[in-house]
A = this chain, B = another copy of it.
């Protein structure tokens, strides 16, 4: 594995019998601007091709103090929603000649900080964060060095640019509609209330019940974190508390739903869903829900739109065109699987 020294612009210049300047101009497609002779231009291009010349981004970044890279921090790459967003952002970056640097926080503020520091040291031109922090002091101070964009999650009351989904509205609509079918109870399993999406989802849930004329009982609302295991545990304790399955349950995330399903499967209760004796709905969508006989309604964020909006906002911040709007809230969609 002998590492061949890469060919540099100096090599090309020498081989083509021109100066570095001329070679640089030609290779950056600005030959006409500098009225380089066509013959010279072709010669340089030819030499470059023959020698597989590829510019060194570090040299370029060093001198331009730009990296043409964007940092993305998300909790977990295997979470389908974040994976979708990451995929879309990666595609947009790739097609614009940028590189997306993805780092995971594992939903741990300490890990998140480490991850961000790594990205900042790599001089990313901007930072997109789905944060697990509750305060934005750190990001606020970072913003002096580079643009920071909040994605999917609002960090405390931060006024940094923000792109997220209006979870409350779709949740309220979904809950109201189900509740009006004539329920006398509706349980809610959620994650950490410190995270902004948790609050919005819960607010939507309570609003939906209210609109359906139902008063929320405190014992209906249960919280842990977004781990699948938490969904399992909450379902277990609910089942024990009641001595039966609940009439209806809303899980605030796909991971929690999975925990609930696992419990039901382990205890051979899935039939209650098939027969619609128990109503189950969830935030977050998953393609597989379409393929199941379980009648689980869901709320889907528009991840593609989220990514696109976020990307465009990021680009405009990088170019210091202070954009018309710096915060965008998108609608979520409801996927009905219990009806019709």
Q: How far is the CA of A235 from the CA of B102 in the complex (A)?
A: 37
Question: In the bound complex, do residue A317 and residue B1 qualify as a contact, i.e. CB atoms below 8 Å apart?
Answer: yes
Q: Which of A53-61, A173-181, A204-212, A238-246 contacts B (4 or more CB under 8 A)?
A: A53-61
Q: Give the distance in Å from the alpha carbon of A3 to the alpha carbon of B123 in the complex.
A: 12
Give the CA-CA distance A270 to B77 in the complex, in Å: 31
A145 lies within 8 A of B94 (CB): no
Please determine whether A102 and B104 come into contact, CB atoms closer than 8 angstroms. Answer: no
Q: Is the CB of A287 within 8 A of B270?
A: no
Known: A1-B143, A3-B146. A90 touches B78 (CB 8 A): no
Q: What is the count of identical protomers in the complex?
A: 2
> Which residue of B54, B94, B122 is within 8 Å of A121 (Cβ)?
B54
| A104 contacts B90, C-beta separation under 8 Å | yes
Which residues of chain B are near A287, meaning CB under 8 Å? Answer: 228, 258
Chain A interfacial positions (CB closer than 8 Å to B): 1-4, 6, 54-59, 61-62, 67, 69, 76-78, 80, 83-84, 86-87, 90-91, 94, 97, 99-104, 106, 114-115, 117-123, 143-147, 228, 258, 261-262, 264-265, 270-271, 274, 286-288, 290-293, 317, 320, 322
